[in-house]
């Protein structure tokens, strides 16, 4: 069976990682993501407490969900990579319970709920979007396990493995290398560690010959060993056979 060539649109590409689409559906997705706007690094797209205004779709760059504590501590709860979408049903709630910000300059589309509803009239797209929601939730569970149950170095290793797979699914890796526009502080707020300890743990991964990481460029030198260390299994991302290759 021959699949169509992977689309250059990461939204199309992500959904096609979950389900097969008709040409019509591919076109509908491409049209819905046709006119992105550029957002600078360090921008807040939405803030906790605001009422949600549309659904954000990331086409380029990297963004993240987070929550703040009163003492200023920030917990990052998700990364949004190209093709990723905010909660499709977010219009149902009165106010956001978390914020979304950008790590790097991004190309972002803000889709209205009506647009989302229109897209969901296509059966394939509807299934793909719901798969996306399931995977978001599964990823949160895995992050919870990561922070609750793994050691510092395992946590980082697992995170790096996950990002690798997710970027690979939308064609944004060069073999085992990828762009990771995060500071060590960002990694710390993701994994529930201090920045200093992230630094030391990264050093250990480097000394072990597992990775290099400088200038926001992540290079995995020994993927099998990194996965073994992290006990990484990609099943929770539900990429299925289509992307297994």
Partner DNA sequence: CGGCCGCTTGACTAGTCTCAATCAGTGTGG
Partner DNA sequence: CCACACTGATTGAGACTAGTCAAGCGGCCG
Rama region for 71: left / alpha / beta (φ>0; ψ in -120 to 50; rest): alpha
CB of 57 or CB of 142, closer to a copy of itself: 142
Report the nearest approach of DNA to the CB of residue 202 (Å): 6
Q: Is 197 in the site for DNA (CB under 7 A)?
A: yes
One DSSP character per residue, the chain reads -PPPPPPSSHHHHHHHHHS---HHHHHHHHHHTSS-EEE-TT-EEE-TTSPP-SEEEEEES-EEEEEE-TTS-EEEEEEE-TT-B--TTGGGSSS-SSEEEESS-EEEEEE-HHHHHHHHTSHHHHHHHHHHHHHHHHHHHHHHHHHHHS-HHHHHHHHHHHHHHHHHHTT-EETTEEE----HHHHHHHHT--HHHHHHHHHHHHHTTSEEEETTEEEES-HHHHHHHHT--GGGG--HHHHH-
CB of 59 or CB of 182, closer to DNA: 182
CB of 176 or CB of 184, closer to DNA: 184
Q: Contact with DNA (CB under 7 A): which of 104, 120, 199, 219?
A: 199
Binding window for a copy of itself (CB under 8 A); candidates: 4-12, 23-31, 91-99, 112-120: 91-99
- Site size toward a copy of itself (CB under 8 A) is 42
Q: Is 152 in the site for a copy of itself (CB under 8 A)?
A: no
Binding window for DNA (CB under 7 A); candidates: 56-64, 126-134, 167-175, 199-207: 199-207
108-137: which residues touch a copy of itself (CB under 8 A)? 127, 130-131, 133-134, 136-137
What does the per-residue mask of binding to DNA show for 95-134, with x meaning CB under 7 A? ----------------------------------------
Q: Contact with DNA (CB under 7 A): which of 193, 205, 229, 237?
A: 193
Distance CA 182, CA 159 (A): 12
Q: Is 192 in the site for a copy of itself (CB under 8 A)?
A: yes
Residues that bind DNA (CB under 7 A): 151-153, 183-185, 192-197, 199-200, 202-203, 214-215
């Amino acid at each position: 069976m021959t699949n169509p060539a992977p689309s250059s649109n990461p939204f199309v590409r992500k959904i096609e990682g979950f389900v097969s689409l008709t040409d019509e559906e591919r076109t509908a997705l491409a049209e819905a993501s046709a006119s992105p706007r550029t957002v600078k690094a360090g921008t807040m797209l939405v803030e906790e407490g605001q009422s949600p205004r549309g659904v954000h779709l990331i086409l380029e760059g990297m963004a993240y969900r987070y929550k703040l504590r009163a003492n200023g501590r920030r917990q990052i709860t998700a990364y949004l990579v190209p093709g990723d979408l905010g909660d499709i049903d977010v219009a149902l709630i009165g106010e956001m319970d978390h914020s979304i910000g950008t790590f790097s300059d991004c190309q972002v589309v803000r889709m209205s709920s009506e647009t989302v509803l229109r897209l969901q009239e296509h059966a394939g797209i509807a299934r793909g979007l719901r798969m996306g929601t399931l995977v978001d939730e599964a990823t949160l569970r895995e992050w919870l396990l990561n922070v609750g149950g793994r050691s510092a170095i395992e946590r980082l290793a697992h995170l790096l493995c996950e990002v690798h797979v997710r970027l690979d699914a939308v064609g944004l890796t060069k073999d085992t290398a990828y762009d990771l526009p995060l500071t060590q502080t960002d990694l710390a707020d993701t994994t529930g560690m201090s920045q200093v300890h992230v630094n030391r743990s990264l050093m250990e991964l480097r000394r072990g010959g597992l990775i290099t990481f400088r200038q926001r460029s992540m290079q995995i030198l020994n993927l099998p060993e990194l996965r073994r260390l992290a006990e990484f299994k990609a099943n929770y991302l539900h990429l299925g056979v289509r992307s297994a290759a």
